[in-house]
Amino acid sequence: MRVRSIAQICLIGLMLSTVGCGGAATGTSPAAGASATSGTPSESEAPTAAQSDGAGGSTAGASDLDVCNLISSADVEAIIGEPPEAGIDESSVDLRACSWMGSVNPTESVTISIYVHPDAGTAKEQFEFRTSDIGGVEILNLGDEAVYVEAFGLQVLSGRYDIGIDNTGDDSKTSSLKLAQQILPKLP
């Protein structure tokens, strides 16, 4: 709930502070103790996530990405169980973020953050540095790499995009996976 939102903000702050430090990951495996699951909510659904082109993806700038319009109010309502307030754009220069809160119960929320790195190599270094010690469950067949951590939500690397999705819905992991599958193909 509120603690998860604060944890997500702290994780974003950590991510931003490490970009200038040139922090690099040690190894490319998932966090110690992490297990693997499929990136699809059920075994019968095929993954729809776009894969990196290996060259850093699109040259569109972070300012071209409107996270608040990547999903609909109906998508948010399906997760939190009530109509949401309008999405609140919490973006900065290279971090694009949007949060939705319930109109009746503001502790019900969905937050999506997308850090747009200059290239896929930098994105991979930062993703691995940021997720190396947080534990969680590795998600297969979603972006280039993905991990779900109860305290931080879903973290996905796709090309030069480092995506965080967190929500307070009843099944946060499944709903975050569905949102990621909707969002990834829409990235420039």
Q: Is the pLDDT of residue 33 over 50?
A: no
Rounded to two decimals, what is the model's pTM? 0.70
Q: Please indicate whether residue 81 or residue 29 has the higher confidence score (pLDDT).
A: 81
User: What is the tens place of the pLDDT at every residue in 130-183?
Assistant: 898 888 899 999 999 999 999 899 999 999 999 999 999 999 999 999 999 999
Only one residue has tokens 């307030």, namely: 85
Residue 127: both structure tokens together: 């993703």
pLDDT score, position 93: 86
Half-sphere exposure of 122 (CA within 13 A, CB side): 17
According to DSSP, the β-strands at 161-167 and 153-158 are: antiparallel
Whether 140 contacts 39, CB under 8 Å: yes
According to DSSP, the β-strands at 145-149 and 137-140 are: antiparallel
Q: What gap in Å lies between CA 111 and CA 154, rounded to an integer?
A: 11
